[in-house]
């Protein structure tokens, strides 16, 4: 059995990953591709968040996310292809250390982690995020969560 709790976490650096590659401007998931000067240029991203003057911009990379196995007897770890935003410029709350270890895209978009895992056939397009009283927590991909947990639905993209 693999103990996933004793991992040393470091800041992600695409050049330090043997599986990382830039998502090009010509990639079908590059939303800002039309703004690129060359189709081979790394795909830029820009996200404005709802909190005041908080944004992140940089470029997108494809890489492999290593996930712990399921709770069944096999407990086989999974190597999942994902798209990661490598932030180069942050504003607002990010400058105050709001997310010192980065963010994970869990929204409804095509490049969110649950969407990519589902498209790869690894999970159902769902996840549950559970917090404990000590502010620790776990995220489970592809499940509906326990019957005892509370749920908060996503709002559609138009906010209605």
| 76-91 pLDDT tens trace | 778 888 898 888 888 8
Q: What pLDDT is stored for residue 44 in this prediction?
A: 94
According to DSSP, the residues that pair with 62 across neighbouring strands are 21, 83
Q: What pLDDT is stored for residue 3 in this prediction?
A: 43
User: Which are the contacts of 32, defined by CB distance < 8 A and separation ≥ 6?
Assistant: 25, 43, 44, 45, 46
Report the C-alpha gap between 3 and 76 in whole angstroms.
Answer: 12
Is a pLDDT exceeding 50 seen at residue 143?
A: yes
Q: What pLDDT is stored for residue 6 in this prediction?
A: 46
Q: Tell me what the mean pLDDT of segment 10-39 comes to.
A: 87
Is a pLDDT exceeding 80 seen at residue 51?
A: no
Q: What pLDDT is stored for residue 4 in this prediction?
A: 43
């Amino acid at each position: 059995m693999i103990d996933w709790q004793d991992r040393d976490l470091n800041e992600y650096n695409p050049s330090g990953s043997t599986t990382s590659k830039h998502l090009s401007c010509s990639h079908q998931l590059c939303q800002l591709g039309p703004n690129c000067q060359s189709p081979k240029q790394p795909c830029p991203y820009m996200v404005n968040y709802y909190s005041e003057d908080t944004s992140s911009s940089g470029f997108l990379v494809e890489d492999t996310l290593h996930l712990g196995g399921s709770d069944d007897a096999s407990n086989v770890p999974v190597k999942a292809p994902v798209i990661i935003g490598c932030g180069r410029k942050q504003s607002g709350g990010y400058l105050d250390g709001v997310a010192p270890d980065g963010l994970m895209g869990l929204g409804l978009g095509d490049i969110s982690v649950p969407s990519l895992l589902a498209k790869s056939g690894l999970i159902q397009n769902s996840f549950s995020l559970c917090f404990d009283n000590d502010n620790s927590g776990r995220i489970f991909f592809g499940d509906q969560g326990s019957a005892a947990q509370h749920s908060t639905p996503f709002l559609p993209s138009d906010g209605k």
